[in-house]
Chain A
Amino acid sequence: MAEAGWPRHALSVGVFEFQRSVRALWQGKVRFAFMALGVLIPSLVGTAVVVVFADAIRGVEALAVPDLVRGMIALFWLFGVYLVAQRVVSARTRIEAEPLMLTTVSARTVAGGLLVAETLRILAYIGFPALVLTGVGAFLLGSPASLVLIPVAALLFTATVVVTGSIVGYAAAWFVATSRFVARHKTVLGTAASLIGMGGYFLFLYPQIGGVSQAALAWFPMGWFADLAAVGTRFVGSPLRAAGAVVGSAVLLLGGGAIVERETVALWFTEAVSPDKEDTAQEPEHTAASEDSVRTARGDALAAAVKPLGVPAFVPTPMRRVAEWTLLRTRRDPNRLMFLMIPVFAVGSPLVSTGLQSGSIFALLAPVGAVVLPWLAGSLFAMNPLGDEGAVLPVTLTAVSGKQYVRGLMVPGLLLGLPIVVAVTGIAGALSPYSLGESVGLVALSEGVIEEFSWFAESALTN
């Protein structure tokens, strides 16, 4: 049972959490500026297009909402669910100050607050474009109803994305918390899930890849928000589908909200399994570790923990230790890699699109492999080297020289990344229209880029 007035409390929690997110972003002014520009520029470009083509939009004849539009909205909805699920499972499984919150309000209130906060965060991104669309509907397409229905459609779209994504994300987090197998292999399983999700998204986004059009998703009820937003405009949608979008959203929000509550209660009040312990039915011990297990854990604990990966013995010990710890940290905390998704999406999506449109994807992939993959290989292990060390940084830097530390950071990228970079660049070059000499040059360039990055990182960090 939740406390009386829980919806009001959940709203307070959501607004407070959203304000904290904004304040946290505001503390890094440059990052905040980039994010603001990322929201403003596309919106302003959209507004400019609307202004330039205002007369043409006004003159649009009555037109049925195409299946392609419904499918596109459904695809974005599914992609949004994927992103929210990934955010939940990677960084938002629990609320901050959890002992305070869970002894102050009910778990339902906290879960509801987290849903509200995430909805507000997404609305901060899509709010302005939604306003532009509302203006188009109301003033250019002459539909006063758009003043209400387009914002409602945007709100329901966002809220249903958040609730559904949270259901998936909390379920995944619960499996990680309760299944030792899942906890132990979360990196592999998470990567596989990400690849499947991204693969599915690209399959529909670029019909050139698999010949599947976005229109194929028009049957999906979440695409019916297009019909809801089109009510009253000259775009003729299906009233049944518009009503279906509203009713379906209400059902999803209520039912999904209840599921999220159950999931969060199960997750927050369950002790997570330890991925490093064995599944044994031995008698409980008061002491955490017996002498035998302590002795077994000795030896080269770091090298043993990194297995089956490893750093060659010829690498000097301080560098090897930094490299092993970097590998281990990445494997035990793969959530950090999620930050890489942003540049990968930002650069990857237009590149794939351009490559497909040009008709020769390999002509683009080869130089991209030579330049971007080395960066990616390094970033996998050392995107935020000083920040990753956190409170340990002073100890690290007084234990090894800056040069050794930086070189140690780069070893995993070189060991694991270099062969992949060379292979991808070489194969893409061979399949591209480039000559053999040009392909070899690209492979050499990829190695050169790695060396340059390494040199730059070393001098920048040691300074």
Chain B
Amino acid sequence: MTAIETTELTKRYENTLAVDDLDLSIPEGVVYGFLGPNGAGKTTTMRMLTGLTQPTSGTGSVAGVTVTDRDGLRTHIGYLPEEPPLYEQATAYEQLDYVAGLRDLPEEATRERIDGLLDELDLTADAGTRISDYSKGMRQKVAYIQAVLHEPDVVFLDEPTSGLDPRAARTIREMITDLADAGTTVFLSTHILPVVEEVADTVGILYDGQLVAEDAPDALTQRAETGATQTLEDVFLELTGTDPAADVEATNG
């Protein structure tokens, strides 16, 4: 069964076409790496799939629920936007208990789950400190926990490893893989290509609002014509027209 399905999904902001006829079909339990340069339409796509923005045209569904049914979507999705949505005046415990309460999660079991996740992310010692005193990485960890706390069917992660030290970044990568192994679909948007290379089952590259490539990372990095292997970064730069080597060549030529 598909976890995310879109057909000609389009979003237009006044005179700017942010997402153009996007067709996606992402099966359950995979990690989908969603790549694209700044302004390609990645965040707009995620906002449409999470119900935060209405598509201009086209259709989409997440976990079988149409993306225009915001109330139906909520229980199925978790969302970690690029800017962690946290309250400066709360502690991590307060923030997570609050969100768990709003989702009506069973208190005792959720508290254990929160403690476990805080422990895994090495945040237990600071969980009673106000978020205003947290570093960027610590905020990112709390925001990640609140996105997966209710064990959603589909998790949307926008730059989840941004600001994390290598150890914490590795932990998050392992947790993403664990989520997928447990059947959760992870829609992962990031600029950190090695993360995608390591954890993604499928990679989609968005450029100027259009999906210009979609395949398994290994398949993408194999040059069809020559059989030579490229890095995902090479492929990304080639497809999005931002290959510095090509630019230099063009200038010289």
Contact = CB atoms under 8 A, between A and B. Distances in A.
Interface of A: 1-5, 9, 12-13, 16, 19-20, 23-24, 27, 96-107, 109, 269, 271, 273-274, 277, 280, 282-288
Given A1-B71, A3-B71, A102 B52 contact: yes
Please give me the 9 A-B residue pairs with the lowest Cβ-Cβ distance, nearest first. A97-B85, A100-B85, A23-B89, A284-B17, A286-B208, A20-B89, A99-B81, A103-B79, A1-B71
A273 B14 contact: yes
Nearest to B75: A3
Contact of B79 (A5, A23, A99, A274): A99
A269 B52 contact: yes
Interface in B5-48: 12-17, 20, 39, 47
A23 B146 CA distance: 22
A286 B14 contact: no
Contact of A97 (B51, B71, B86, B209): B86
B71 A277 contact: no
Contacts of A19: 89
B20 A286 contact: yes
Contacts of B89: 19-20, 23-24, 27
Interface string B86-105: 11111000000011011110
Given A20-B90, A97-B85, A104 B15 contact: no
B3 interface: no
A104 B95 CA distance: 13
B12 A104 contact: no
Contact of B98 (A16, A23, A27, A99): A16
- The listed residue with most A CB atoms (<10 A of its CB), out of B20, B53, B89, B208, is B89
A99 B50 contact: yes
27 contacts: A3-B71, A9-B101, A12-B98, A12-B102, A20-B89, A97-B85, A98-B52, A98-B85, A99-B47, A99-B79, A99-B81, A99-B85, A100-B79, A100-B85, A100-B146, A102-B70, A103-B73, A103-B77, A103-B79, A106-B70, A106-B71, A107-B70, A269-B52, A271-B13, A274-B14, A286-B17, A286-B208
Contacts of B70: 102, 106-107, 269
B99 A12 contact: no
Given A20-B89, A102-B52, A103-B51, A9 B102 contact: yes
Contacts, number: 94
B74 A106 contact: yes
B54 interface: yes
A109 B79 CA distance: 18
Nearest to B149: A104
Given A106-B74, A286-B20, A286-B208, 17 more contacts: A9-B101, A16-B87, A24-B88, A96-B87, A100-B85, A102-B70, A103-B51, A103-B79, A104-B99, A104-B103, A105-B74, A107-B70, A269-B54, A277-B15, A284-B12, A285-B15, A285-B17
A286 B209 contact: yes
- Please report whether the interface of chain A is mostly helix, strand, loop or mixed according to DSSP: loop
Contacts of B73: 103
Contacts of B13: 271
- The listed residue with most B CB atoms (<10 A of its CB), out of A13, A96, A99, A109, is A99
B87 A104 contact: no
B16 A285 contact: yes
A323 B17 CA distance: 36
Nearest to B46: A99
Nearest to A280: B15
A412 B70 CA distance: 47
A13 B99 CA distance: 10
B159 to A, nearest CB: 13
B41 to A, nearest CB: 9
Contacts of A27: 89
A96 B98 CA distance: 14
B79 to A, nearest CB: 5
A81 B98 CA distance: 30
Contacts of B104: 4-5, 9
A13 B102 contact: yes
B85 A269 contact: no
A287 B85 CA distance: 29
Given A97-B87, A269-B54, A273-B14, A12 B81 contact: no
A280 B15 CA distance: 8
- The listed residue with most A CB atoms (<10 A of its CB), out of B15, B39, B71, is B15
Contacts of A107: 70
B141 to A, nearest CB: 15
Given A5-B104, A271-B53, A288-B39, A103 B15 contact: no
B87 A277 contact: no
A177 to B, nearest CB: 13
Contacts of A280: 15
A63 to B, nearest CB: 48
Contacts of B85: 96-101
Nearest to B103: A104
Contacts of B15: 277, 280, 282-285
Given A12-B101, A20-B90, A23-B89, A103 B50 contact: yes
Contacts of A99: 47, 50, 52, 79, 81, 85
Nearest to A288: B16
Contacts of B81: 99
Interface in B94-123: 98-99, 101-104
A277 B14 contact: yes
A195 B155 CA distance: 49
Nearest to A103: B79
